[in-house]
Amino acid sequence: MTTLKRRQLLAAVLGVASIAGIASGLVAPAAAQDSYPDKPITLVVPFPPGGSTDLLARQIGEAISGPLGQPVVVENRGGAGGTVGANYVVNSEPDGYTLLMGVTGSNAISAALRNDLPYDPVTDFDPVSIVIAAPLALVVNADSDFQSVQDVIDYAKENPERFTHGTPGVGTSMHMTGELFGLETDTKLLHVPYKGSAQALQDLLGGQIDGMFGDILVTSEYVKSGRLRALGVTSTQRHYLLPDVPTIEEAGVDGFAAFSWQGVFAPAGTPKPILDTLYDEISKALESEKLQAFFEEKGFLIESMPPAESKAFIAAEVEKWKGVVEAAGIGPN
């Protein structure tokens, strides 16, 4: 079962830490053309072709093209951690014909890390729907002495900034999850940024770093082969790829939860009937056997969140990660 009920995801965001505030917004009603859509829709992916966001966008686009009666064309506009493509969509006409496959970085974390971000993730977008959530797994080398989440906490308390965790770079969900873990456990881990997850994983396998909050799909294969040990998952429930691994909350960190997520966004001012039409087709597509199988293969948890709830979710995410950045002393650049 790969469906994550939206109340659980909202609760994980709204209640994960006292450092975060709660914000919400409503989509203003507007008149929509009765003929929508009457031409192709562009779905912008803010990363190069071939990655998980690109693959997800193509699956979603293909699934809703038939019911909408128009092709959904995926356009890759990579750069600056997804913010180049996001800014392109922000500056497009709010008519439902240019959409964004946004991610945690481009539509939440970026607001906390950048003073020069050319858009506001909350006010400059009208979310159509959050589509998937992807928890992470705290993994260590199988030959290490760390047998549990508590072992990591105890070591990090006794040895501040000695437990090294690798990430694909500053501001990624892996990095921010590590910072959140440190704040929630009153510890300080040592962040080791790499140019990608693959490099961090190779150093973890080689014993050069102590651990990482890694992608469950990738790390679970190494856990099953005996090369890595999974100590906990960041979701609110155990993950089907690692059913014997406790959540980090189960392991003793009360209320801990962190997800990376992806969703479809429109420029602010898009008429509500258009948002509702797109949401209806996306939510139906997520129930199809084809997409269910695709998500399960990738380790994703399916999420279908209506526009208004998605808006509140994004606002809360932005506030949460701003709180983490401030409390961790990372500071925007």
What three-state secondary structure class fits 217? Answer: helix
pLDDT of residue 193: 92
What is the CB neighbour count within 10 angstroms for residue 329?
8
Cis peptide before 37 (omega within 30 of 0): yes
Tokens read off for 206:
């080689």
Selection from 171, 152, 11, 200 nearest residue 82 by Cα: 171
pTM score, two decimals?
0.82
Tokens read off for 155:
């070591």
State mean pLDDT over 54-64: 95
Summarised one tens digit per residue, pLDDT across range 23-45 is: 333 333 344 457 999 999 999 99
pLDDT of residue 29: 38
Percent helix, strand, coil in the chain (nearest 5)?
Answer: 40, 20, 40
Q: What confidence category does residue 4 fall into, taking pLDDT thresholds of 50, 70 and 90?
A: low
State mean pLDDT over 184-211: 94
pLDDT of residue 118: 96
What DSSP assignment string belongs to 266-323? Answer: EETT--HHHHHHHHHHHHHHTTSHHHHHHHHHHT-EE----HHHHHHHHHHHHHHHHH
State mean pLDDT over 314-330: 91
What is the CB neighbour count within 10 angstroms for residue 97?
18
The kind and range of the H/E element at 131 are strand 125-141
Domains and CATH numbers, the chain: 6-133+262-328 (3.40.190.150), 134-233 (3.40.190.10)
For residue 208, give Cα distances in angstroms to 140, 179, 219, 248. Answer: 11, 20, 17, 24
Q: What confidence category does residue 17 fall into, taking pLDDT thresholds of 50, 70 and 90?
A: very low
Summarised one tens digit per residue, pLDDT across range 63-97 is: 999 999 999 999 999 988 899 999 999 999 999 99
Summarised one tens digit per residue, pLDDT across range 99-157 is: 999 999 899 999 998 889 999 999 999 999 999 998 999 999 999 999 999 999 999 99
